[in-house]
Amino acid sequence: MFSQASNFQINGQSIFTTASTIDVTYHGTPRAANHEHVLSISSVLQCPSPSQYFVGRKDTLRRLSKIFSPPVVTIWSPNTDVLKDIVKAKLKYSGHALDQAYAEIIKDQVLSAESLLVLENADSSLVMEEHISASQVDAPMLVMSTSPAISSLASCTDFSFHLPECADHEAVGSLMSSVEKCLLPAQRIITLVANGGSGKTQVVLQFIAKNAFRFSNIWFLDATSNATLAADFKQLGKAAGVGEEVKDVYNFLARMHQNWLCIFDNADDKQVYLKDYIPCCDHGNIIITSRLSEASEMDSPGWHIDFGDLDKEDAIELLLKHAHIETYKMNMNLAIQIVDALGYHALAVSTAGAYIHTTATCTLANYLVRFNKKRRDILTYRMRSLDTYQRTVFSAFQLSFEKLSYPSQFLMQISAHFHPTAIPMEMFTRAAAFTGKDTGPVDLDPPTEAIKLLDK
C-alpha cells in the first residue's frame, strides 16, 4: 500500500512516518477489499471500448481521475503548531496507529469511505500514487503542509484552504467546518461540452477503460432523445427488477447508496431535460457529453472541465496513426501543414488520415491539394474503423449547425465568405450599430433588412 514506506515511528498522536518524511495517520477501521460482489445489472448498458487510435487528452484524463477519486483536502499554514493541533483535537475521527505490523495487516484491504487518511508535513512535489494505491483507497484524504504549493494536490480549488499564522480558535473552528463539508458524501456531475467530432465520448471511454475499478457499477446511456433514454432506463430497470418506467429507475438510483456511474452520451437535444433522469442525492456519479453550452450548468461546483480541439502534437500523432505512416521528420513537416489546415479537429484529422491510408493516389504531400479539389467527397468520407462514432466531418458539422438559432446560422454563412483567420470583429460591431441613417446616395442597397434578421 505504501510503496516507499520505511522507518515506521509511532508517537502519541498515532503518526506513521514514511521514508519521504511525510507523516500519515489513518483514522478509522479498514475493511476487506470486495470487488467480487457485483450486481447483475452490471451486465447491461456496458461501455464500448475506446478507439485503438486514441491519443492525447492527458490533462483531461488526469482531471477526471482527480475528480472521481476520493476527495483530497489541503490545508497550508506557516504555523506548524496550529496544524498539529488540528490532528490532535479538531478531527472528529477515531485514531488508529499505522505501525509496520498494522500496515502489513491492511495492505490487501480497502480503506473505507468512512475513514480519513491524514498526511502531515507533505511536500509540494508529492506524487500521491507513489505512496498510496488508488485501487485500495476509498478513504478521503487531508493533506497538511507549511507550503502553499500543496494546494495543487487538492481535488479542486474549493478543497484548498489557507490558515493564517495568527489564526485564533474561532478561525480554526470555522476552517474545520468547511473541511468537514468537503469530506461529506456528495454526488459528482461532470459535463464535457464541445462541437461534434471533437472526441468527447472517446475521452470518457478511455477514462473508464483505465478507472473502472473506482465504481461499483457503470452504465452507458444513449441521451440522444427522450425515447433512447427511456429505452435504456427500461433495460436497466428490467435487469434490476425495479420496474421498467423512467421513474422506477430514477428512484432505484436515488436509494442505491453505492459509487455507481451513469454516462449520458450525446445529450444534444434541448428537449431532453436530464434532471428528469438524474436523481438529486448525496451519492453516485454522472458524466454528460453534449454539444449544448447550457449543459455545463449541471456541473458540480468546482468540477468544470474545459474541453476543446486537440493539441498540435496530438493531432499530428492521430493523423499519422490513421494514415499508418511512420513519424519521420519529412512526414512530420507535411503532417503539420495538414493539421494546421484542419484546425486540430479530432474527427477531421482522423478522416484525413484514414482517407490517405485507403486512397492509393493520396499522400501526405498531395492531401491538401486533393482536399481543395474534392472537398465534398472528403468531408462526406466515412471511416470504416470499428469506432462507435460513425458521423462524417460534414454530418457532424451539419448537426451542430442545425442546433443554432437562425440569426447565428446567418452570421456563420456571412463569415464563410471571409478567410478563416483574422476576421475583423469591428465589422460586426459596426453592423450591429447601423441604423440606416448614415447611408448616402451611393448606398443603393443598404443592409438594413439583413441586420433586422440578425436582431430577431
Question: Which residues, in sequence order, are bridge partners of residue 261?
Answer: 218, 285
- The domain segmentation of the chain, as residue ranges, is 16-33+65-183, 188-298, 312-396, 404-455
CATH number of 188-298: 3.40.50.300
| Contacts for 25 with CB less than 8 Å, ≥ 6 apart | 13, 14, 15, 16, 87, 95, 97, 98, 117, 118, 120
**What pLDDT is attached to residue 365?**
92
Pairing of strands 160-162, 30-32: unpaired
CB distance 227 to 104 below 8 Å: no
CB atoms within 10 A of CB 387: 18
Sheet order of strands, 285-290 included = 188-193, 285-290, 261-265, 218-222
**What pLDDT is attached to residue 375?**
76
- 295: which 3 cell numbers? 449543459
DSSP state of 422: -
**What pLDDT is attached to residue 420?**
64
**What pLDDT is attached to residue 8?**
28
- 32: which 3 cell numbers? 476487506
Point out the residues of the chain with pLDDT beneath 70.
1-39, 87-114, 123-138, 381-404, 419-422, 434-456
The string of DSSP codes covering 233-267 is HHHHHHHHTS-SSHHHHHHHHHH--S--EEEEE--
Q: Calculate the average pLDDT of the chain.
A: 76
Distance in angstroms (rounded) separating the CA atoms of residues 339 and 346? 10
